[in-house]
Structure formats: C-alpha cells, structure tokens
Amino acid sequence: MKNETLNVLLTRRSVREFKSEQISDDELVTVLEAGTYAPTARGMQTPVIIAVQNPDERGAVSALNAKIQGNSGDPYYGAPTIILVLAADDRFAELNGAAVTTNMLNAAHSIGLGSCWIHRPGEMFRTDEGKAMLKKWGLDETLVGVASIALGYADCEAPAPKPRKADYYRIIK
C-alpha cells in the first residue's frame, strides 16, 4: 500500500550539505506549524520551537553546539536555518520534543527542503551560555533542550537508505 504520506516517510533522509540561500518564510512556517501538530502527552503542547535565522544568533548556536561536541566546525552543516526544540522539564520532555522534531523533519522533506536532526541541545541549554541565550530570547531558563534541526535547501543528492534489519519488527498474533 503506497500513498503520499508513506512516500514521505520512506524517502526522507538526513541532508548534510546545504545551499547558503535562506528558505522562504512560507516554507519555514509550514515546517514549524507541522511541529505544533505533533502528539504530546495529555495534549499539553509543552515543547517550545525556536527558528534561528539571524546570522549572529545562528553563529552563536552553532558555536555552542560545536563547543559541546569538542570541535570548532559547524555541526549544522552550513544550513541557513536552525530549529531548536525545547520543552518543559518534566518526564515527557524528550518524548514530546522528539515527536515535534520528527513531524518537522517529515514536513520539511514533503515540501522539498533538506534537514538533519542534530543532537546536543540538552547539554547546550544546561550551560550558563545556553541559559543566557534563552533569557536573551525571552524564554524560560528552565526549558530543557531536546533536539535541533539543520534546515535549508539541499546541496547534494539524497543518500541511499540503509538496508532495514530483517528483525526490525515482529507481529504477534
């Protein structure tokens, strides 16, 4: 059984080469709005989604992520937009944030954008520097970082999918 949604789910791949051209406001809003429709525990909608396009702020986010990673490169692969997903510090933060992130990754692919899930926001926003960023942006410093996304126009072919494990799922009847 194939349909448009399944095609998006089966063909989305992480992109690690981006054009410098910024995505359109309509494309950005489409991706962000898709994130707001992700399921969250008890429907509480606790995640907070931040899109960073300002070059100075983008550079600061990238530098902090690289510092946590222990290098000086750009962990966001030159993508012109970085999306940060944070959440209220509760037992559902990671699950809620992961659902939001996944929705946005799939939405990006569905409209022709490249994206890549980038780790380390948890560590980033536990630092004094990360908390200062949140404060500067008018956000609660108690939010926890869950995930981030490099987002833009791909400057490469989509990688081939890795073969799926034979025992990835089981059906118990």
pLDDT 10s digits, 81-112: 999 999 998 999 999 999 999 999 999 999 99
- Average of per-residue pLDDT across 124-138: 97
CATH superfamily, with its number, for domain 4-152: NADH Oxidase (3.40.109.10)
- Mean pLDDT taken over the chain: 96
Look at the block and give the residue holding tokens 């070059």: 55
Q: H or E element: which one contains 57?
A: helix 55-69
Listed in sequence order, the DSSP H helices in 70-146 are 93-110, 121-124, 128-136
pTM comes to: 0.95
Res. 64 pLDDT band, cuts 50 70 90: very high
The residue extents of the domains of the chain are 4-152
Q: Distance between CA 151 and CA 50 in Å, rounded? A: 12
Contact predicate 155/19, CB 8 Å: yes
Per-residue pLDDT at 1 exceeds 70: no
What percentage of the chain reaches a pLDDT higher than 90? 94
